[in-house]
Chain A
Amino acid sequence: MDLDKVLHQPVRTRIVAFITTHGEATFTDLKKALHITDGNLEAHMKKLIQTGYVEMSKETGEGRPQTMYALTKTGLDAFQQYVESLQVLLNIEKYPK
């Protein structure tokens, strides 16, 4: 079984899992949740955006604009499929025939 290479990376898995339940998140939200450096987070976000799993938008209003990250439909579907694949694999590992 081939696991999604983009999602099968611990930091990226955690990013996508967090955004799934949190909803839109800023860079600061993600940094606080994941406890990683700015550079590390930026690199992984770039990869997720390139793949089309996460989209970036800017919200204007009072003060400086905020950059928001949200899962795309592609990203959500890919994540759901990834989790299902992991669960199937876990069953195979725990209960080999």
Chain B
Amino acid sequence: MPVTTESQLEAIHAMMDKGQRSVRIEPHTLIAWGFVSAGLILFFEYFLPLNTFPERWQHHVFETITITVVLALVGIWDYRRTRAVRRRRDETISFVQKQVTKIWWFLIGLVIFINLGMNFFGGGFIFFPLVLVILGLALYVQGLFSQTMIAWIGIILIAAGFLVLALNFPPKVTSWLAIFVLGLGFPALAYCVNKPFFQEAGVWQRAKLALAFVLLVSVPWIAVYHFIRVTGFMDVETISLSDYADLTEDQLVALHNVRINAGSEIPIHIEIQSAVLQGGKADVRVPLKIADHLDLAVKDEHPTGFFRIGDGAWQQYGHTFRLRVFEWKSFLTRNEGPKMEIKMKMSTHR
């Protein structure tokens, strides 16, 4: 084949592109980061709740230190293992790969920092959707310098993060999506990254693989979501508040669904702690009247967390209940003096 100017320039562009796209993510990297991160979410969401420590800040600090140390150890292990594997294969870690690894490390640090900030300043509702978006961003950058399919999965995760946020799923639900993305999605990706069907996938093949990934993480997520919604719930006969008040000590131990009628007043006791306030805190009692009847599942005189509004479906507090402070104003007028207005919204899903 004759050597022409054009063919030489094309070959140069092709090889320079290949040199830039020489970033490869090792299967062990995806498996280690996936399993460990999923494990950390499970541990702190379900095995070490907030009330484990006497003060909330102690839990937040312990969580941050633990996550930082564990992920740093995983990072060091992954770094050394990748170098060993590449050396065994007589391959290098290219300049671009080193830079992409730094981006991964930066984004992981960002997630830890955001988690700490949200623990102290609020906004935890968006944490897991944000984790999905950041994971997606990391995979997208990885994919730009390696395989297009990885970039596609990155885009899927970014979209999923925004979608679950828009659909208003609570943290207990979105945490499970993050767990399945990391615990199932990442290992599945690890299996695929070095396979020809993944590396050489055309547009249609990529679409099928993308769909497979979505199904792999979303089907178990939906199953878990429904499972935890109904676990511990038993549909027993609903009794009125006055009938509940007439129950004996022995009868109170059992599970009851108690109906609080529409128009009933529920006193809400709010305690505000602040160094600004005399005595360090203030107690406020706010009587709220409910618009529709409220059924509460109660066992041994404690609500189980299940409730129903009107004739709607049974819901679980912690899964569908949300309280937001969305406006805070302060005034100082001649007629009324100092005044503060706080607007809060209490919402349930359905």
Identify the A interface with B (CB < 8 A).
8-10, 13-15, 17-29, 32-34, 61-64, 66, 68, 83, 86-87, 89-90, 93
Segment with Cβ contacts to A, from B9-17, B118-126, B154-162: B9-17
Instruction: State the CA gap A40–B11 with chains docked (Å).
Output: 18
Report yes or no: B90 in contact with A26, Cβ–Cβ below 8 A.
yes
Report yes or no: A8 in contact with B90, Cβ–Cβ below 8 A.
no
Cβ contacts under 8 Å, B22 to chain A? 21-22, 29, 33
Report yes or no: B3 in contact with A17, Cβ–Cβ below 8 A.
no
Contacts A18-B16, A21-B19, A62-B84: A10 and B8 contacting too (C-beta < 8 A)?
Answer: yes
Report yes or no: B92 in contact with A23, Cβ–Cβ below 8 A.
yes
Interface class of chain A by DSSP: helix
Q: Distance in Å from the Cβ of B92 to the closest Cβ of chain A?
A: 5
Q: Distance in Å from the Cβ of B327 to the closest Cβ of chain A?
A: 53
Q: Distance in Å from the Cβ of B123 to the closest Cβ of chain A?
A: 41
Other-chain contact of A93, B5, B13, B91, B95 (Cβ < 8 Å): B5
Cβ contacts under 8 Å, A8 to chain B? 3, 8
Other-chain contact of A23, B83, B87, B95 (Cβ < 8 Å): B95
Q: Distance in Å from the Cβ of B145 to the closest Cβ of chain A?
A: 10
Q: Which chain B residues numbered 1 to 60 have a C-beta less than 8 Å away from chain A?
A: 3, 5-9, 11-20, 22
Q: Distance in Å from the Cβ of B253 to the closest Cβ of chain A?
A: 64
Count residues of chain B with CB under 8 A from any CB of chain A: 28
Q: Looking across the interface, which residue of chain A has its beta carbon closest to that of B95? A: A23
Report yes or no: A20 in contact with B90, Cβ–Cβ below 8 A.
no
Instruction: State the CA gap A28–B14 with chains docked (Å).
Output: 19
Q: Distance in Å from the Cβ of B3 to the closest Cβ of chain A?
A: 6
Report yes or no: A10 in contact with B11, Cβ–Cβ below 8 A.
yes
Q: Distance in Å from the Cβ of B100 to the closest Cβ of chain A?
A: 13
Instruction: State the CA gap A64–B84 with chains docked (Å).
Output: 11
Contacts A86-B8, A86-B9: A62 and B16 contacting too (C-beta < 8 A)?
Answer: no
Contacts A10-B8, A21-B19, A89-B5: A62 and B87 contacting too (C-beta < 8 A)?
Answer: yes
As a 0/1 sequence over residues 62 to 100 of chain B, the CB contacts with chain A under 8 angstroms (1 = contact) are 000000000000000000000110011111101110000
Contacts A10-B3, A10-B11, A90-B9: A18 and B19 contacting too (C-beta < 8 A)?
Answer: yes
Instruction: State the CA gap A86–B9 with chains docked (Å).
Output: 7
Cβ contacts under 8 Å, B90 to chain A? 26-29, 66
Given contacts A21-B18, A21-B20, A28-B90, 9 further A-B contacts (CB under 8 A): A10-B11, A13-B12, A21-B22, A23-B96, A29-B22, A29-B91, A33-B22, A34-B15, A63-B88
Cβ contacts under 8 Å, A20 to chain B? 16, 19
Contacts A14-B15, A17-B19: A29 and B84 contacting too (C-beta < 8 A)?
Answer: no
Q: Distance in Å from the Cβ of A15 to the closest Cβ of chain B?
A: 8
Cβ contacts under 8 Å, A15 to chain B? 15
Other-chain contact of A21, B3, B11, B16 (Cβ < 8 Å): B16
Q: Distance in Å from the Cβ of A66 to the closest Cβ of chain B?
A: 6
Q: Distance in Å from the Cβ of A44 to the closest Cβ of chain B?
A: 13
Contacts A23-B94, A63-B87: A13 and B11 contacting too (C-beta < 8 A)?
Answer: yes
Cβ contacts under 8 Å, B6 to chain A? 90
Q: Looking across the interface, which residue of chain A has its beta carbon closest to that of B17? A: A21
Interface centre among B7, B11, B16 (most CB of A within 10 A): B16
Q: Looking across the interface, which residue of chain A has its beta carbon closest to that of B22? A: A22
